[in-house]
Each structure stands twice: as structure tokens, then as C-alpha cells.
DNA sequence: CAGTGGTCTAGACCACCAT
DNA sequence: TGGTGGTCTAGACCACTGC
């Protein structure tokens, strides 16, 4: 227990997050105006504004002067690369996606622990590759708790044009808010080498990601292998 | 040119950064109070507060309720790991430093370009290793423009107990504000393998960093090779 | 033009810190 | 106890958007 109650703007921030988690406003929707929210929460406009500014800093909402405050969506072009830090050294070209597989299975202990579910609870495993200029660059697999992604299948993925996170959001109402990644250098296994068209033992960048939705609930575990001969993982330290 | 002038709080923010760059207040020093700064810049306290809040978000200053606003310093324990993202898988132990070399040379084109200096301008090259539990984990070399690090030598580094950035700040007045990193997986060269006590060809995480001081001026280029068998590079995506 | 967020001000009161 | 930053309020005015 904190000694004193959280400040009002923080309480309001949490109430708005709860409303987002409950789906009161969907990604892309406009939130009520500052004045309307101030009314609703019984606070002054300045206090509501502070809460909204914090949410904007976390990329949960997006503010547009003259038009309103909107729930962030992975469909927006600006969000396209928020979770993909691999860029070409010469900064050229985007990726094309190739689905390798999508199947239902039971979570092994490590996956269950990360996703905070019970071991052997059903999860959906997706495997895919990303290509740049026709060359495979990324091989990744991910595990998603089935209870949040009921009906996810190869067909559903193939039928969708945008990013996976845009699909998850549009189809399952699961919006990714933030992620934690662990990076290491590993040697390509025979299988990975064949898929990525490199020699076995070739150094690859391993990226293990745990992604969270509203309320810091983990909903995706992902492991990527990046071939970094002419691409690199870009990071900013602040 | 922006259509309209920058907002007042942004102008004040820039004036404070300029004062920090000029050394008007040194790392660890207290800034004048909000009221005093408001007086000085002819703005209301709320506007100055906004400027200070932005600076705090960038880690340029640190606010302590009841005592004041202070210039951030790399000597502070909390800043110790801001620029070192490598952590042990089991989260245990810190690093010990071993200096391999420190010499003066002339910048090659690639280094000069990154540091925004002229080719063949003098730079200081530092090479070192980091060990955890007696095992070498990081091999890195860095290049610093001599004009900002006059008198840096092996003796100066060895005599210093804390991090390099704390030394740079205390001795040369160069405070690192932010950095950009490019990560890739590479194979250990014979030389790197020998120093890191791994087999040649072993996958290593290559981390190339460009660090900036006040006013976004690049002052350090660094290249690290991380042995990531029981350590990983931790990252947060927001 | 009406409605939205963005800036700037002014002031009250509180929590915390040093002394 | 005096000074600091932290919270909260109230309101004026501006800039931008969309109709």
C-alpha cells in the first residue's frame, strides 16, 4: 500500500486504461473531449489533460490538435515499425511476409511461465519468415494464448494484408502496448540455416520478445532469428 | 524555418540546455528554483515547470521534491547502467574493468564521419574488456575526439574507480545525454576470440554506439563485442 | 464557424527536505 | 520552519480541423 493515495491524474489514467481494456473505445476511435472527460471524472480539465498526456507518451492514445484524442491503432502507418527494429543498413525497402505454419498445441512450461498461463493450456503457434528483396532475413515463431485468439488460423493470417499486430487488434481486440526483448548472438541450427539460406553455424541475432496488452498482461511470446549481414537492429538509449 | 515560433517552454528548455552545455551548472549542482528561473526568463512558473519536466524526461536533470532540481550526473548510482544493457541471465553480479590500451591516433574516414570531425583529426582510442565472475564478456574499443578529451591516458583511466562516463564527465566536462546503437550478430575473429576466450567463429553480439552530449553533438564512437552465452542485451519497446 | 487540443498564466494547497 | 517541487484548479487566448 502506498502511504498516500495515487494522485488524481494517475487514478484517471488508470480508469481510462481500464476502459480501453474493456473495449469502451476501440483502436482508432475518438475519446470524449477533455471537457467531457473532466465532467465524467469530476476533475478539472487540467488534471484530465495531464492523464491524457501521460497516455499519449505511452502511445496508448494519440492527440490531434483541432480534432481530438484517439485510441492508438496498429493500423496507423506510424505504428508500422514501432515493434520492428530491424532496418537495412542502406535504409532501403520493406519486408514481405511468408507464413510457414500455424497450429494449436499445449504450452510447454517455459511458454506458460512467460505468458502467465497454466502449463498445457492451449496456445497457438505461428511460424513465419520475412524477406527483403526476395532474400529471407527473419525467421520467427510465436506463441499466443488461445483464449485471446480464438479462431486464429493460417487462413485468417493469409487473408490479412497488414502487420500481425494490426490483425490481432482488428480481429481479436488485442492491442499490443509494450514489449520486453532479450537479444543474443547464436549460431544457426541446421533447420534455421536451411530456411534462412545461410551456412549452419552462421551467427544470427536471436530476439526473444514478450509483448503486453492493456494492464501489462502478457499475451505474446515470440522468438526471432535475424540474419544481420546487411541489416541491423536499431536502438536508442535515453 | 517553422511557420510559428517555438512555444515558450521549448525556448526555455533550449536556453537551459545551452547553459548546461556552457557549464553554468555542473553535473550534481542544483539549478535555481522554479520561481527564480521564471524570474530570469520572464515567464510564469508553470511554463518553466513544463520546460524542467521535459528535461527531466530526457534525464538531463533530476527533480527531488522538497530539495530542488539537479543536473544529472553519471556518478549517481541510478545512472550506472543507463547505457549498459547487457545483463546476466540470472541477474547476478556486476562487471570488473580491464584496460587493454589507450593511444592517440588520427581518425580514419568512418570514425571522422560519425564523430562529425575532419578526417585525420586526432582521436583517442581506448580498448578494454569487461569481466563477470572472472570471465571476459565484453571486448570494446572506442574513439573520442582529442579536443574534448585533452590529457586522457591509460593512467587517468586506471586511476578512476567508476564508469568511463563518470570519468568523462568529472574530468573533461563531457556529459553523455543519449546514444544510438546498431546491433548485429558476427563471428569472432581470431583476435577477438583469443581475448574473449572463445572459439574463432563463435557468434558474438556486435554493438556499435554513437553517443551524444548536450545539444546532440556526437562525442564518442564505440564498438563492443558481447559474448552472450549466459548474458543478454535487454531492451524495452514502448 | 464551432469544437478540439495547445499554450500560458495565476494562485491555492500539499508533501517533502534540510536545518 | 522556510523553501522546494508536486498537485489541482480556473480561465484566457491561440492554432488547428472539419464541416
Q: Are residues A25 and A84 in the same domain?
A: no
In the predicted model, what is the mean pLDDT of residues B39-64? 97
**Of A52, A71, A90, which residue sits at a domain end?**
A71
pLDDT tens across A32-69, in order? 999 999 999 999 999 999 999 999 999 999 999 999 99
**Closest residue in B to A183 (Cα–Cα):** B233
Q: Which nucleotide is nearest to A45 (CA to C1')?
A: D9
B4 touches strand D (CB under 7 A): yes
* CB distance B209 to B222 below 8 Å: yes
Domain count, chain A: 2
Domain containing B162 equals 77-233
* CB distance B126 to B157 below 8 Å: yes
Residue B168 burial (10 A CB sphere; 0-12, 13-18, 19+): buried
In a 13 Å sphere around the CA of B161, the CA atoms on its Cβ side amount to: 1
Local structure of B157: helix, strand or coil: helix
Q: Are residues B204 and B135 in the same domain?
A: yes
A21 Cβ neighbours under 8 A, 6+ residues apart: A213, A214, A215
d(CA A187, CA B174): 39
Decide if pLDDT at B1 tops 60. no
| Closest to B184 (Cα-Cα) out of A173, A79, A203 | A203
Q: What's the pLDDT at A223?
A: 98
Residues on A contacting B at a C-beta cutoff of 8 Å: 58-59, 82-83, 85, 178-187, 201-206, 209, 226, 228-229, 231-238
Residue % of chain B over a pLDDT of 70:
98
Q: Are residues B118 and B15 in the same domain?
A: no
d(CA A39, CA A44): 8
Is position B87 within any domain? yes
In the predicted model, what is the mean pLDDT of residues B143-165? 97
Q: What's the pLDDT at B2?
A: 42
**Of A55, A71, A87, which residue sits at a domain end?**
A71
pLDDT tens across A125-177, in order? 999 999 999 999 999 999 999 999 999 999 999 999 999 999 999 999 999 99
Residue B81 CA to D1 C1' — how many Å? Answer: 39
Please state the separation of Cα B116 from the chain's center in Å.
17
The phi, psi pair for A108, rounded to 5°, reads -75, 170
d(CA B79, CA B171): 17
d(CA A55, CA B57): 15
Q: What's the pLDDT at A61?
A: 98
Is position B12 within any domain? yes
Q: What's the pLDDT at B91?
A: 86
- The CATH number linked to A228 is 3.40.1410.10
Is position B238 within any domain? no
Residue A10 CA to C2 C1' — how many Å? Answer: 31
Q: Which chain B residues in 26-45 sit with Cβ < 7 A of strand C?
A: 42-45
Is position A228 within any domain? yes
Is position B122 within any domain? yes
Q: Are residues B20 and B86 in the same domain?
A: no
pLDDT tens across B90-102, in order? 988 799 999 999 9
Is position B3 within any domain? no
Residue A2 burial (10 A CB sphere; 0-12, 13-18, 19+): exposed
Decide if pLDDT at A3 tops 50. no
Q: How confident is the model at residue B4 (pLDDT cuts 50, 70, 90)?
A: low
What's the pTM value of the predicted model, to 2 decimals? 0.95
Q: A30 has which bridge partners?
A: A70
Is position B155 within any domain? yes
How far does the CA of residue A5 sit from the closest CA of chain B (Å)? Answer: 17
Q: What's the pLDDT at A92?
A: 81
Angle between helices A45-57 and A8-21 (to 10 degrees): 60
**Closest residue in A to B59 (Cα–Cα):** A238
A8 touches strand C (CB under 7 A): no
Q: Are residues A93 and A173 in the same domain?
A: yes
pLDDT tens across B107-144, in order? 999 999 999 999 999 999 999 999 999 999 999 999 99
Q: Are residues A112 and A126 in the same domain?
A: yes
pLDDT tens across A83-139, in order? 999 999 998 879 999 999 999 999 999 999 999 999 999 999 999 999 999 999 999
pLDDT tens across B189-209, in order? 999 999 999 999 999 999 999
d(CA A100, CA A131): 13
Q: Are residues B27 and B114 in the same domain?
A: no
**Of B55, B71, B87, which residue sits at a domain end?**
B71
Max distance between CA atoms of chain B, in angstroms, equals 64
pLDDT tens across A177-220, in order? 999 999 999 999 999 999 999 999 999 999 999 999 999 999 99
- b vs e for B81-101, b when ≥16 Cβ sit within 10 Å of the residue's Cβ? ebbbbbbeeeeeeebebeeee
- The CATH number linked to B19 is 1.10.10.10
Q: Are residues A154 and A212 in the same domain?
A: yes
Q: Are residues B117 and B63 in the same domain?
A: no
Q: What's the pLDDT at A4?
A: 66
Is position A195 within any domain? yes
Q: Are residues A92 and A56 in the same domain?
A: no
| Closest to A201 (Cα-Cα) out of A215, A192, A191, A188 | A188
Residue A34 CA to C2 C1' — how many Å? Answer: 16
Q: Are residues A133 and A153 in the same domain?
A: yes
Q: Are residues A23 and A138 in the same domain?
A: no
Amino acid at each position: 500500500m502506498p502511504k498516500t493515495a495515487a494522485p488524481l491524474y494517475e487514478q484517471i489514467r488508470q480508469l481510462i486504461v481500464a476502459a480501453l481494456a474493456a473495449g469502451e473505445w476501440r483502436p482508432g476511435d475518438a475519446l470524449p473531449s477533455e471537457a467531457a472527460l473532466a465532467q465524467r471524472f469530476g476533475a478539472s480539465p487540467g488534471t484530465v489533460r495531464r492523464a491524457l498526456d501521460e497516455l499519449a507518451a505511452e502511445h496508448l492514445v494519440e492527440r490531434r490538435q483541432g480534432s481530438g484524442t484517439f485510441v492508438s491503432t496498429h493500423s496507423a502507418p506510424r505504428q508500422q515499425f514501432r515493434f520492428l527494429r530491424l532496418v537495412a543498413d542502406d535504409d532501403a525497402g520493406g519486408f514481405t511476409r511468408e507464413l510457414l505454419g500455424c497450429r494449436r498445441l499445449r504450452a510447454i512450461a517455459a511458454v506458460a511461465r512467460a505468458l502467465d498461463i497454466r502449463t498445457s493450456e492451449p496456445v497457438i503457434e505461428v511460424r513465419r519468415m520475412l524477406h527483403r528483396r526476395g532474400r529471407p532475413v527473419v525467421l520467427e515463431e510465436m506463441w499466443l494464448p488461445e483464449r485471446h485468439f480464438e479462431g486464429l488460423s493460417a487462413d485468417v493470417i493469409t487473408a490479412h494484408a497488414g502487420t500481425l499486430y494490426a490483425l490481432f487488434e482488428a480481429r481479436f481486440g488485442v492491442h499490443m502496448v509494450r514489449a520486453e526483448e532479450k537479444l543474443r548472438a547464436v549460431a544457426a541450427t541446421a533447420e534455421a540455416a536451411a530456411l534462412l539460406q545461410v551456412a549452419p553455424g552462421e551467427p544470427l541475432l536471436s530476439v526473444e520478445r514478450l509483448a503486453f496488452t492493456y494492464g501489462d498482461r502478457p499475451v505474446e511470446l515470440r522468438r526471432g532469428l535475424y540474419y544481420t549481414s546487411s541489416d541491423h537492429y536499431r536502438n536508442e538509449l535515453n
